[in-house]
Amino acid sequence: MVSEIWTEKYRPISFQDIVGQEDIIKRVQALTDSLNIPHLLFAGPAGTGKSTLALIVVRELFKETWKENYLELNASDERGINVVREKVKNFARTKSIGNVPFKIIFLDEADALTPEAQQALRRTMENYSATCRFILSCNYSSKIIDPIQSRCALFRFRLLENKDIEKVIQKIASRESLTITPEAAEMIYEGSEGDCRRCINLLQSTSSVSPSITADLVSTILSDAKPKDIKIVLDYAVSGDFQKAREKLFDIILRESISGQDVVKAIQKEIWNLPIEPEIKVKLTEKTGEAEFRIVEGSDPFIQLQALLASFVLAGLGK
């Protein structure tokens, strides 16, 4: 996680560096302080601190010898059964160095492991529990087989809220001597969608242009459709002027180089600000879902967006 880089620049990372997961941090810290943790399963969206927390646990447990007692594997790159049979088993069967009686194996993106590899992993977790503990992270715990879930203490991470992203932004701004306007901070949160890693990447991209970060600068880096532009498009459509809505939408797409999916997401957010009946908003939200699905499946974005605008025109006309 990118946050590991900027915290390590000043001091070793600690439990206090993770924001927005207070309940999880308390429980995991208590387990770590006891020097005896069970197998752990961290599940939740990307950029919420799962990998960082795993690294903190290892460093708190082993101190200076953490590198010798820690194996990290990214399951999205190495997902076959041979990885479990060779790398994982060979590391798990050897004794640890230091006072802690076990090693740690961290399997990142464990939901990418094949079912066969997961079946092999369940036996390895059982047979070598005396000399090794596993920390698994995944985006979707439902993709982890039940026998593995039952062997782990499950911790569910949630998307970060605005106040959590604000803490990260202010901490980085003070250390890197950045000036960030409140509007820019709000836009960074909206652009990150609760992903701390994306928030830090946005800050790094904008700060490379200027140390004074404004909403316009963030908007340029984000390359997202501006809400006010999308509102103009929808106002034209709801009023029944399909031609102007179409011209304005295509102007936004070509001028800002925005993908069809991003436009659909921006439209979906703006629907609820339209002066129309709630029942119509629900129907239009359904239409945006259909358009997004078709674009993902490979349909022409321009045709799908025109069809979506046509739905807004018909809704405005009461049809």
**What's the CATH number where 207 sits?**
1.10.8.60
Cut 0.85: pTM above it = no
Residue 146 Cα to chain centre, angstroms: 24
Q: How many domains does the chain have?
A: 3
Spatial contact of 180 and 192, defined as CB atoms under 8 Å apart: no
Q: What is the mean pLDDT of each run of 10 residues along the chain (319 residues)?
A: 43 76 88 87 88 89 86 70 74 82 88 84 85 90 90 90 85 86 84 83 84 82 70 85 87 77 85 83 88 88 89 79
3-state class (DSSP) for residue 262: helix
pLDDT at 43: 92
Burial degree of 34 (CB within 10 A; 0-12, 13-18, 19+): exposed
CATH of the domain at 117: 3.40.50.300
Q: Are residues 118 and 13 in the same domain?
A: yes
Q: Are residues 142 and 171 in the same domain?
A: no
Burial degree of 209 (CB within 10 A; 0-12, 13-18, 19+): exposed
Q: Are residues 311 and 181 in the same domain?
A: no
Q: Are residues 135 and 40 in the same domain?
A: yes
Domain holding 261, by residue range, is 227-316
Identify the domain boundary among 187, 204, 222. Answer: 222
Q: Which residues contact 185 (CB under 8 A, 6 or more apart)?
A: 165, 166, 169
Q: Are residues 175 and 95 in the same domain?
A: no
pLDDT at 265: 85
Q: Are residues 130 and 71 in the same domain?
A: yes
Q: Are residues 54 and 122 in the same domain?
A: yes
3-state class (DSSP) for residue 160: coil
Q: Are residues 200 and 100 in the same domain?
A: no
Which among 42, 43, 46, 51 has a CA at the least distance from the CA of 17? Answer: 51
Q: Are residues 15 and 149 in the same domain?
A: yes
Q: Are residues 193 and 168 in the same domain?
A: yes
Q: Are residues 213 and 242 in the same domain?
A: no
